[in-house]
Amino acid sequence: MSRGIDLAKYEEALQHLDPVRVNGKVTQIIGLTVESQGPDAGIGDVCAIHPLKGGEPILAEVVGFRDNRVLLMPLGDLHSVGPGCEVVTTGRPLTVQVGSELLGKVLDGLGRPLDGSKLPPHLPHYSTYNTPDNPLLRPRVREPLGTGVRSIDGLLTVGQGQRMGIFAGSGVGKSTLLGMVARNTTADVNVIALVGERGREVLEFIERDLGPEGLARSVVVVATSDQPALIRIKGALIATTIAEYFRDRGLNVMLMMDSVTRYAMAMREVGLAIGEPPATRGYTPSVFAALPKLLERAGTGPSGTITAFYTVLVDGDDMNEPIADAVRGILDGHIVLSRQLAHKGHFPAIDVLASISRVMKDIVSEEQQDAAEQLKRLLSVYKDSEDLINIGAYQSGSNPEIDKSIRFIQAINDFTRQKTTEKVTLEETRQRLIIDFYKR
């Protein structure tokens, strides 16, 4: 007799209970891939591989199936794993703890603090496999967001919820530009993902580029280049998930990922390891399917926004290489960093003529738009005639447009140059641009 106790919930739980749990056994390891006979698991589920000699289990994710065997990709070191090791499924995909307690923390590619501390157990868990919002539920980008960088705020104005790419070769100043934005932005929270970075550069970025002021309102997720490919992929997904959490709380979030190219390279490693055919320049088809799923998760939401900056490392400064081309077609604008400007000591080395913000016209005044177009027009005229001017072959008075560009080139350079420690507001940038270039 139940004596008034409601047993309905227990009966329902028993109906969904699997009393027999089938574990698996490792059968072979080839390269990055572990094959096992069992367990019962689906794509994306996390499993624990127990070493034969004991010790901590190694996490791995189900990435495919072949001949009724499970293909697993490790989330750790496989040195102690061999044939016969037991494989136990957790029955769920990877999750990450989220909450305001993450602010000021540096996390690894699995969402754990890098300093060895523990996150509070009461923090909720979010799945890393969220889907982009319904496009009809996404408000339009209507408000500008200050980055503290004159060239961006004045000439390539970014809106709250816009997604921008920063395209450049190595050593042109991508990380420095991200640090300037992180310190000076008007967003409420920064979420920064360092994917595939050199280990030396992590502390350098945090202390030099980000600084204590930037770190205090940031969450940094680090997956260095020596980590397994799957951890580098998870680092990008976890950073995006944390940004989604803060957006759902009604905040304006700045998400910065350096770099989406190394995320794509890690996806390529996984794809090739499980037998996918290589396509363009060795990238597998799943890479080009995964990119929009990741990048579309940023943007506006019903209560908050995620404004995103994704750096794209272009091989040999080739802006048309496959990943750069695919990312440029997905995002809402791109900022191109010029090696030629960097060699001249012009920082940030933003090539404003090759860059564009696709929502700028919707979020700035007519005066600012006209002033920005005037500056670009003068700069374009000067660049077209720069060689003639420098060798003294141009005669003053031959062309009024060239004469005008020569008069304004110093003002243009002063506007687009900025020290990393110099902080300017969005309104200060707008006023200076209008005064110097509107109807001039």
Stretch (H or E) spanning 11: helix 8-15
Lowest mean pLDDT among 52-66, 138-152, 342-356: 52-66
Q: What is the mean pLDDT of residues 253-278?
A: 92
Strands 24-30 and 58-66 come out as unpaired
Separation between Cα atoms, residue 335 and residue 153, nearest integer Å: 12
116-126 b/e (C-beta count within 10 Å ≥ 16 → b)? eeebeeeeeeb
Report the 10 Å Cβ neighbour count for 431. Answer: 14
Distance of CA 382 to the CA centre of its chain: 35
3-state helix, strand, coil in the chain (%, to 5): 40, 20, 40
Tokens encoding 266: 């890690």
State the chain's mean pLDDT as an integer.
90
With bands split at pLDDT 50, 70 and 90, how would you rate the model's confidence at 171? Answer: confident
What mean pLDDT is predicted for residues 236-251?
95
Q: Residue 2: pLDDT above 50?
A: no
Please give the Cα distance from 280 to 316 (Å, whole number). 17
Q: Which of 87, 136, 108, 71 has its CA nearest to residue 193?
A: 108
Interior/surface letters 363-388, b for 16+ CB within 10 angstroms, e for the rest: bbeeebebbbebbbbbbebbeebeee
CA distance 114 to 243: 19
- The string of pLDDT tens digits covering residues 16-29 is 555 556 789 999 99
Which candidate, 350, 258, 351, places its Cα nearest to that of 311?
Answer: 258
Which CATH entry fits the domain spanning 17-93: 2.40.10.170, 3.30.365.10, 3.40.50.12280, 3.40.47.10? Answer: 2.40.10.170
Segment 35-43 mean pLDDT: 90
- pLDDT at 220 exceeding the cut of 90: yes
Between the ranges 66-70, 272-276, 277-281, 349-353, where is the mean pLDDT highest?
Answer: 349-353
Pairing of strands 299-300, 356-357: unpaired
Residue range 96-364, CATH number: 3.40.50.12240
Location of structure tokens 């300017």: 424
CB 82 within 8 A of CB 27: no
**124, 98 Cβ separation under 8 angstroms:** yes
Backbone conformation region of residue 333, classed left if phi is above 0, alpha if psi is from -120 to 50, else beta:
left
pTM as predicted: 0.90
Q: How far apart are CA 341 and CA 337, in angstroms?
A: 8
On whether the CB atoms of residues 103 and 217 are closer than 8 A, the answer is: yes
pLDDT at 4: 57
Whole-number percent of the chain with pLDDT over 90: 62
User: DSSP readout, 2-55?
Assistant: -TT---HHHHHHHHT--S----EEEEEEETTEEEEE-----TTEEEEEEPTT-S
Give the model's pLDDT for residue 76: 84
State mean pLDDT over 275-287.
Answer: 89
Mean pLDDT, rounded, for 272-284? 88
One-letter amino acid of 246: F
Task: Tell me the average pLDDT across 86-115.
Answer: 92
Q: What is the pLDDT of residues 342-366, one digit of tens each?
A: 999 999 999 999 999 999 999 999 9
d(CA 294, CA 115): 28
User: What is each CA distance from 33 to 22, 81, 269, in whole angstroms?
Assistant: 21, 12, 10
- The pLDDT value recorded for residue 1 is 44
pLDDT at 200: 84
**pLDDT band for position 334 (cuts 50, 70, 90):** very high
Distance CA 27, CA 36 (A): 5
Span 126-137, average pLDDT: 88
d(CA 36, CA 85): 9
- The alpha carbon dihedral of 241, 245, 246, 248 has a sign of positive
**What residue segments make up the domains of the chain, in order of their start?**
17-93, 96-364, 367-437
Half-sphere exposure of 428 (CA within 13 A, CB side): 10
Q: Which class does domain 367-437 fall in?
A: mainly alpha
